[in-house]
Structure 1
Amino acid sequence: MRKQMEGDNQRRRVLARQARERGRQPSSDAATLGASKQLTHLDRGKRAGPPPAGVHKPDSSRGGPMPPSAGRPPAARPAPRPGPGTPGAIGLGYRELVGDVSRRTGVDFREAKVGAEATVLVLARALAEADRQRLLRAVPVSLHDVTPIDGVEPHRDLPGFLTEVARISGRTPEQARYQAEATMAALAARDGRLVASLGVPEGLRDLLEPPAAGGGLVGTTGADAPLTADELRAALADLPYWSARGPALSRSIALPPSNLDRVLDRIDQLRRDTGRGPTIARETSSSAVLTVRSRQTDAVTARVVDLAHRVDDAIEEAGAGMAG
């Protein structure tokens, strides 16, 4: 009898294994004892989802809505940038501001963009921290979001300032001066109170000065206006060594070679100091022709006359004789 029961048990185990291999419950094939007691409700529980809410379970019908599932907190919305009319913000957008610089310098938009960016960066670096942040918050962000300001050399003197603007923009110091003056004028035209309130170093204040009177401050394109015929005659009366040649003023110098070298070295220093200087044509070892002209306007302007006077002063400082 005992052997028969053991054999029956072995047979039931075989049948149960075969039932499981077919994906069925052993009890459904009568392969086990007590089939009525198998936990068939487990499959139904898996299909029916989580159990209904109880007294200790959160439920929207009891005491309010379900709490939100855990996860990342929503990202904070960025604060909007100040727009036109906001105190401390330049009133026009990026393209309008650069377009104004383009008109003032007589160059295309791309070149004006490079010059304006370089000027803003170098100016910001020259300011104290509080003024620097006010300037950068006020101007369009596109003027200072490419070159890291920490990579800009701080210069509070005009020659160093123009050299750094020239380095960043890939222009000559003379071109850098025109770019810087035009950018400062464009910024001041939009928010003069802001520009005036910045602690611009004394050595850079020349960049904030308007052009000398004569010929109008600016022409219809925003660049320096040409002198009228009467203004040009009056200007030449104060420049006895200069003559008008089309849109330029020229002066010839004839000196012994050593003296001429000293004069030309002093004129080169003028260019380094101010970013402006004449074109020098060395005709012979003892003679040269100096020419000043506007890069913005195809005519003689007040700035051209001012540069001619500066060249005369440099020649006089060199202590050399001169010939007209």
Structure 2
Amino acid sequence: MPGTWLDVLTLDLGLDDLLKESKSSITSFISMFGTLLAFVRPTIPGDSPRVLRTLLPLVAWVVFSDEATVTPDQLVDDGSPESFFYVNGICTTRRMALATGAELSKMFNKNVTVVHNPTDSFIVDIFECVFAKLWTGQSFATSRPCALLMDRLLEALRDPTKTKVVLIAHSQGTIIASDALRRLWTAVDKGELTHDEMKKLEIYNLANAAHWMDQTEDRVPYIESICNQRDTVGMLGANAPESVKQSWNIRIAGPVVYPTTNRWGHMISAHYLKHLKNGDYPGSKLHTYMNTAKEPEYIVAASH
């Protein structure tokens, strides 16, 4: 709704931060223009060839998307028995993903490892979501961020000092998380990961658009979807009408948690994190990790 547009500019696009960091208005304009250009500049998903990046970096930037990255590159060890990870949705630059990771770090008072899923423009990102969603996550466009996420999750789950591994995903990131979960179950089947290690995993999906995200009979791992009632993206996955779930065989386990009032909006900071900090998603287990933890009031169970 129009009342949240300013929040989108300041919280999600980081306009305030650009103005503070830049020494001149011209620099701020160039930075914002570069961000907006990333949303409309169609690129080929995946890393550009190393030779092209070395000899013709400008051509590589125009033709190919940014590389998927993990920040920090190594598993964060702040002495906490809990490891937190975040993977972003569509139309998210690296700067935006890191800013969201920093916000999550403040909310939970934990170091957060950010797996950046680079944007290839709004249109290309949408097609990536369609293919990855309908073909059970098997998409070359998201394979690199999924592989990076998978490696870090395996490292954390196998770490005997870690008791909880918390993954927070948004939008397209929930589809990547779904693919990573499928690969983790394959690792369990192959004996590369134990069932007890899988019990450490908790997945929190903001605007869950995935097609499949399931558990074992003893509810492993913990899966939760947080959806605004009028978020169209969430209505394609965890918040889809029952008839749609049956027709398209959408299977997403765990509770679906809604805000206290019917709410529009899909942006992670303006429409989700801002309200999560205010306790507007009663019943979400995420509240137990925050300094301002609130007792759950209700949980709306997923229909399946």
TM-score, normalising length: structure 1:
0.27
More strand by share: 2
**Structure exhibiting the larger radius of gyration computed from Cα positions:** 1
More helix by share: 1
TM-score, normalising length: structure 2:
0.28
